Amino acid sequence: MFAHAENGLEKFLNERNVVTDFLGRMEKKTGIEKRYLALGAVCIAALYLLFGYGAALLCSLIGFVYPAYVSIKAIESSNKEDDTKWLTYWVVYGFFHVTEFFSDIFLFWFPFYYAGKCVFLLWCMAPVSWNGSQVLYNLVVRPLFLKHEAAMDRVVTDLSGKARIAVETLNKEAAKIPEKNQ
């Protein structure tokens, strides 16, 4: 398992992107290999998630910034497979975020909650076939969606109709305002 992680790290460090370019510049300035700089940054982030103030922000950045970056790259590529992978991540991320909203008041008090949440999000974006996004989508989200798809379609249709009527009403009212001021 550690050999697989080490190979993944080496593969990542040999790619050209913003992070590896920064690590390359730091390697030239400090004389410390990119691999050790990356591991040091991971250790600092882990310690900060465990003991730092603002761990929620760091955890949210980890769960958002990299997936957003690779999602944009996926949109710009001609490969459909990476689009599906990252759409699945965002669906699970949104599902988790809504669930967390209601349970956060309790989970927040658990020691190392944000470290655990960060590990969960990293599992959801891991470049393996059994990553959290795939597992949770297939075991939880998809069955729930399929079970309630018709009801959800009715709600969406009803809400979009009401939203259209509300916008039309606001437009009519807004059109009357200049007439009243004259």
Per-residue pLDDT of the chain (182 residues; tens, 9 = 90+): 566 666 666 777 777 777 778 888 888 889 998 888 888 888 888 777 777 787 888 888 889 998 999 999 999 999 888 899 999 999 999 999 998 888 877 777 777 888 888 899 999 998 888 899 999 999 999 999 999 999 999 999 999 999 999 999 988 888 887 655 55
- In three-state secondary structure terms, 31 is coil
Measured distance CA(66)–CA(87) in Å, rounded: 14
Domain residue spans in the chain? 1-51, 58-162
Measured distance CA(58)–CA(157) in Å, rounded: 37
List of residues 6+ apart from 25 with CB closer than 8 A: none
- In three-state secondary structure terms, 127 is coil
Measured distance CA(84)–CA(116) in Å, rounded: 26
